[in-house]
Structure 1
Amino acid sequence: MADNVKYTEESIKSLDWREHIRLRPGMYIGKLGDGSAQDDGIYVLVKEVLDNSIDEHMMGYGRTIDIKISEHLVEVRDYGRGIPLGKVIDCVSKINTGGKYDSGAFQKSVGLNGVGTKAVNALSQYFRVQSFRDGETKIAEFEKGILTVDKPLEKTTERNGTKVVFTPDATVFKNYHFIPEYLENQIWNYAFLNAGLTINYNGKKYFSERGLYDLLMRKVDDEQIRYPVIHLKGKDIEMAISHSNQYGEEYYSFVNGQFTTQGGTHLAAFREAVVKTIREFYKKDYDASDIRQSVVAAIAVRVQEPVFESQTKTKLGSQSVGPDGPTLRTFVNDFVKTELDNFLHKNPSVADAILKRILQSERERKEISGIKKLANERAKKANLHNKKLRDCRAHYDDTKVDEELRNNTMLFITEGDSASGSITKSRDVQTQAVFSLRGKPLNCFGMTKKVVYENEEFNLLQHALNIEDGIEGLRYRMIVIATDADVDGMHIRLLIMTYFLQFFPDLVRNGHLFILDTPLFRVRNKKETIYCYTDEERQRAIHKLGKSAEITRFKGLGEISPEEFGNFIGEEIRLDPIILNKETKIAELLSFYMGKNTPNRQAFIIDNLRIERDLALDDPKKAQSEEDSEAA
């Protein structure tokens, strides 16, 4: 058979730029996704267009950027120099075409490789670029990267700048939707890193005067902070740091305005420098974990020609500040050592607060050291024959694995043998793992981290995720709570969320925790089957398939056969992210839902309890359709 396959000139294929991006989108924008994760491709598309406008601002051209984002349409208008009119089409459709190869025109910019906007163009079902320059304007329109409209130059009275409008391609980003909180965080980060820049997004103004200080004040709960934020700035470097009462470490790192969600050289250097400086200041060799426990910090650096470890620029690999500058590690270390040490000498009350936090962390660590050792030995034995974990082959922390595969790794946390069995049989063994709970987990609200080691199930879950020493070694990019949509399932969901919020809030803040959305109904006739996640979807399905259609109500995950379950955890998977923002006060949230304030909680439930029938009666049309479907 193999002898019949001819290896000739025809076997060698050369793809043009557009075909290559569309065939391998993950190489250019990371994972595709539907918008439920903050690093999904649709947000990278927005970022790639915005980066060009930000670079213009950084070079001193344009102090305002206007952004409009509706359900599927994105518009970005800046007031920079505008793309040179004769190169408008080339700049958005020819790889390796751009102004950033001339380092004199764009010093310390983000988009260095001339790919970003081309990727947006190729992955959009509609893409329009317009440049305004010195009284003239040029417009070009594309569909999936193919030029459809090339208008001649026209006169204009509008200010110089560039406007890009695009709609992501629904055949590439299936069932996609923008989550407002993710977009808002993205835009706030641009504002924090570019003091003096005004971003108008959907009618709201985003502006920062104090940069990373403002960022930390937005991210940290005022009541949890241990001392006023330390904010230090130098040439090409800025940092802000404090400690809180929460477990874990929380960092926000940036390079040339790019949010490096996976850190890199600059963040590693910063974490080392903070430990070294504090040890030298107090003249005591404190354990690094005690110094960094509960730290919340942000670091931003600007370097020439940064080298990132992936096209999506989420992790910095650069070792130097510039061609003739010091190594990045030395640059960060020297700044922190000098400036942080000076600050602590000048502010003894802050120095005392840091020392108290370190000593508290030291006491807590020593208290659990005995039980921790025993628990870890038990976990090692259990891992050899861990019936709770059905692992997958690829892992998020394995840099040898293809980035697209790593980005799709997920751990389903399930309860009960039937649900675990359905997921285990229908999962993708390459990227999907399953962790089975034996029942309702412990309500760990108000407990210390000691309980994580005393409770065998919590300890095994911690080891399965590899988060004992922080989230740098996280083995799965997505942690998915998969419980029934009934009262018991909701309670288990709350208990698991309490575990993560109490002991690993940085894991939640970094967008790794999700809830699996499973269908409530199956509506089918002899020709077609439609799975419905809401009552509205059920009504639409009945309307489409006719009133004689068979309607099944799924009461639990165990009722769904493995064959069917494969439809819900594959390409069409629907995930609801757990999003924490400035307004989310974790201590208050957990106290209300998981604490002992029973009368308050009961009153809340009674006030907000509305059954399906009540909801239907609010809308006469819906009430009528309810009666129609019941008759059917």
Structure 2
Amino acid sequence: MTDHQYDESKIKTLSSLEHIRKRPGMYIGRLGDGSHPDDGIYILLKEIVDNAVDEYIMGFGKRIDIHIGDDGVCRVRDYGRGIPLGKVVECVSVINTGAKYNTEVFQFSVGLNGVGTKAVNALSTRFVVTAFRDGRHKTAWFAHGLLQGEEEGKTNEKNGTLVEFLPDPDLFPDYRFDQQYIDQRLWRYAYLNAGLTLSLDGALYLSKHGLLDLLDHEINDEGIYPPIHFADKTLEFAFTHTDDYGESYFSFVNGTYTSEGGTHLSAFREGILKGVNEFTGKKFSGLDVRDGIVGTLAVKVQEPIFESQTKNKLGNTDIRAGIVNAVKDAVATHLYKFPEAAEIFVDKVQRNERVRRELQSVRRDAKAKAKKIAFKIPQLKDCKYHPSRGRPSKPGRENMLFITEGQSAAGSIVSARDPLTQAVFSLKGKPMNVLDQRLDVLYKNEEMYSLMQALDIEESMTNLRYDKVILATDADIDGLHIRNLLLTFFLHYFELLIKQERVYILETPIFRVRNKQKTFYCYTDQDIDEAMVALKAKGKGDRAIETTRFKGLGEISPPEFRQFIGPDMRLKQVRIDSLSEVGKVLRFYMGKNTPERKQYIMDHLIVRPV
């Protein structure tokens, strides 16, 4: 049977701007409301600032002025060369137009695909660009990417470009810029471009020592030797060791933070190993050399190949050998030049090696014990689907592990879950406080070992079996304590899990307020007040309203619980703002300073009227 409705009229060709508005995720990654640092409004701002920074990189303009209004309007003014006046409209509205295809003009630009500014234009209700060049200016106005008008004339303004845009509220509903996320982005621009001044509504962001300043900010003098630093035209790095477990890196390509690393980062890690082995004449393992490292890395690549439009991971393979050799030579040379630092470095590597060997027997015993108990992890109710090794699942197809306390809570989640994508790990009681504990404790504690095995992160984070690790504890003091103990466990032993933003906290309602017609689930006191008002308006006064407090997750019936772990579940992502703060926070809340902590609680106690 032929479908006569499928003909030429059904084939639709979108203009480039229409395509951006129809499929914004292809260009900016995600939309969002500003509550996550990767939400679209920050990408829009980044694309415009990137262009201004590119001017500085090419040697034009040492200052960028940024303004974000209360109404959401963003304004970016650079003092570079300014867009050539005859190409102002095309450069901000016609896809694949721009000087960044010409390597003579822009050697190390981030936005090589010619889409960034056009995407901002298409996704804004209002977009105004003004170019200032040699005493003249040209201004063009757009709405949703469509030209509304333009003018040209004389000016006394310094050369450069001014862009003003208002993100479209239809695409970014109820959006709000978070000052903390903007601060982080602007400081990264400053660290990567020493000498560039960025101004945000009067606040200045300026770094004199580049990546060394970034490293110092992240470790806060916790390095065990002065950082090894190297910089040339296309490569800069700085790193040192701390006494923490694991390795942490902040890697960048042409000024863009590559949160998932890529070929430049793997080459950097290999170069460190080869440099140490060349200096010592030994064959240390990569794990022993790099455990405890915190490093920063920035590379400049003429034609970067990213694995997505949002540029989280670099794919260029041709740069690998050059980076490995440059890092190897720089590390070996530094160790020869600074024997005191070299002695501390090599001592750290040898300590790592001793600890690893001591752990081998402990690990063997733990694995043998686990096999005797059962072939499967007893506390784990697994799901069917898992991500491919080292590759998170596509959005909408993620699997997840709920870590919960006690059998009743686990029972509710197990009964309500989707067994294809939702797994449950139930704790028997409060987990151990592992702060300042050695790694062998992890293997001697049955529950912590089982959790590590369930996640499969003993050898590498690339083996992680779940896209999301969700802490599902009761909304009371004991639940909060268990949550803190779990976060301490991850931060102490598997910090990368949180750095990669895989850990979440499940928000569940504390109260249920209902009458015979309608039910409200309340997460805050304000929710309760609003529910009472709504039910009183529709019901027969207070007597018809029933209020129930859920003391624990186990008190929520499985049919009710299903909606709280369904597509609209409320999750809070656990993120690290600064590595240097992690140790301080953990020691204060989980350390042996009970009197100080008790006094803090008393000073901040809130007494609510009954």
When normalised by structure 2's length, the TM-score is 0.88
Unaligned runs of 5+ in 2: 540-544
Asked if 2 retains the 8 angstrom alpha-carbon contact of 1:379 and 1:463, the reply is no
Which amino acid counterpart does residue 393 of structure 1 have in structure 2? Answer: Y
Structure 2: how far apart are the matches of 1:575 and 1:52? 34
Asked if 1 retains the 8 angstrom alpha-carbon contact of 2:31 and 2:41, the reply is yes
Matched residue of 2:164: which SS?
strand
Alignment correspondent of 1:158? 157
Structure 1: how far apart are the matches of 2:406 and 2:172? 33
Which amino acid counterpart does residue 58 of structure 1 have in structure 2? Answer: I
Asked if 2 retains the 8 angstrom alpha-carbon contact of 1:131 and 1:162, the reply is yes
Cα drift, residue 239 of structure 1: 0.9
Structure 2: how far apart are the matches of 1:164 and 1:98? 16
Asked if 1 retains the 8 angstrom alpha-carbon contact of 2:192 and 2:255, the reply is yes
Structure 2: how far apart are the matches of 1:458 and 1:493? 14
Matched residue of 2:345: which SS?
helix
Structure 1: how far apart are the matches of 2:530 and 2:85? 48
Cα drift, residue 538 of structure 1: 4.2
Asked if 2 retains the 8 angstrom alpha-carbon contact of 1:465 and 1:476, the reply is yes
- Change in Cα spacing, 1:248 to 1:117, as seen in structure 2 (3 Å) is same
Corresponding position: 1:136 with 2:126? no
Alignment of 1:419-438 (within 5 A): 419-424=409-414, 433-438=423-428
Cα drift, residue 331 of structure 1: 1.2
Residue number among 347, 351, 358 corresponding to 1:356 in the alignment: 347
Asked if 2 retains the 8 angstrom alpha-carbon contact of 1:137 and 1:153, the reply is yes
Cα drift, residue 571 of structure 1: 5.6
Corresponding position: 1:110 with 2:110? yes
Structure 2: how far apart are the matches of 1:157 and 1:392? 67
Structure 2: how far apart are the matches of 1:379 and 1:169? 55
Corresponding position: 1:502 with 2:492? yes
Which amino acid counterpart does residue 351 of structure 1 have in structure 2? Answer: A
Which amino acid counterpart does residue 227 of structure 2 have in structure 1? Answer: V
Corresponding position: 1:444 with 2:434? yes
Corresponding position: 1:340 with 2:336? no
Which amino acid counterpart does residue 357 of structure 2 have in structure 1? Answer: K
Cα drift, residue 389 of structure 1: 4.3
Which amino acid counterpart does residue 156 of structure 2 have in structure 1? Answer: T
Cα drift, residue 436 of structure 1: 2.9
Asked if 1 retains the 8 angstrom alpha-carbon contact of 2:251 and 2:298, the reply is yes
Which amino acid counterpart does residue 304 of structure 2 have in structure 1? Answer: P
Structure 2: how far apart are the matches of 1:420 and 1:439? 12
Matched residue of 2:151: which SS?
coil
Asked if 2 retains the 8 angstrom alpha-carbon contact of 1:33 and 1:41, the reply is yes
Alignment correspondent of 2:363? 372
Cα drift, residue 310 of structure 1: 1.5
- Change in Cα spacing, 1:259 to 1:349, as seen in structure 2 (3 Å) is same
Cα drift, residue 52 of structure 1: 1.5
Matched residue of 1:481: which SS?
strand
- Change in Cα spacing, 1:488 to 1:261, as seen in structure 2 (3 Å) is same
Alignment correspondent of 1:186? 185
Deviations 1:453-491 (A, max 9, x none): 222332232233333234344444543322222111111
Asked if 2 retains the 8 angstrom alpha-carbon contact of 1:249 and 1:470, the reply is no
The worse-fitting range, judged by mean Cα deviation, of 161-170 and 224-233 is 161-170
Corresponding position: 1:517 with 2:502? no
Asked if 1 retains the 8 angstrom alpha-carbon contact of 2:279 and 2:332, the reply is yes
When normalised by structure 1's length, the TM-score is 0.85
Cα drift, residue 566 of structure 1: 5.2
Matched residue of 1:612: which SS?
coil
Cα drift, residue 255 of structure 1: 1.1
Structure 2: how far apart are the matches of 1:396 and 1:179? 34
- RMSD of aligned residue pairs (Cα, Å): 3.2
- Change in Cα spacing, 1:590 to 1:355, as seen in structure 2 (3 Å) is same
Alignment of 1:10-409 (within 5 A): 10-69=9-68, 72-133=72-133, 134-142=135-143, 145-147=144-146, 149-153=148-152, 155-173=154-172, 176-222=175-221, 224-320=222-318, 328-376=319-367, 384=376, 387-391=379-383, 393=385, 395=387, 397-399=389-391, 401-402=393-394, 404-405=395-396
The worse-fitting range, judged by mean Cα deviation, of 122-131 and 199-208 is 122-131
Alignment correspondent of 2:542? none
The worse-fitting range, judged by mean Cα deviation, of 478-487 and 337-346 is 478-487
Cα drift, residue 338 of structure 1: 2.0
Asked if 1 retains the 8 angstrom alpha-carbon contact of 2:130 and 2:137, the reply is no
Asked if 1 retains the 8 angstrom alpha-carbon contact of 2:218 and 2:580, the reply is no
- Change in Cα spacing, 1:369 to 1:385, as seen in structure 2 (3 Å) is closer
Structure 2: how far apart are the matches of 1:214 and 1:151? 43
- Change in Cα spacing, 1:395 to 1:187, as seen in structure 2 (3 Å) is farther
Cα drift, residue 609 of structure 1: 1.0
Matched residue of 2:195: which SS?
coil
Structure 2: how far apart are the matches of 1:70 and 1:560? 44
Deviations 1:140-191 (A, max 9, x none): 132xx35373243355433333333344445544665444333222211111
Which amino acid counterpart does residue 234 of structure 2 have in structure 1? Answer: D
Residue number among 589, 593, 596 corresponding to 1:593 in the alignment: 589
Alignment correspondent of 1:458? 448
Cα drift, residue 307 of structure 1: 1.0
Which amino acid counterpart does residue 359 of structure 2 have in structure 1? Answer: I
Alignment correspondent of 1:323? none
Asked if 1 retains the 8 angstrom alpha-carbon contact of 2:32 and 2:40, the reply is yes
Unaligned runs of 5+ in 1: 321-327, 615-632
- Change in Cα spacing, 1:93 to 1:466, as seen in structure 2 (3 Å) is farther
Number of residue pairs aligned between Structure 1 and Structure 2: 601
- Change in Cα spacing, 1:509 to 1:385, as seen in structure 2 (3 Å) is closer
- Change in Cα spacing, 1:489 to 1:579, as seen in structure 2 (3 Å) is same
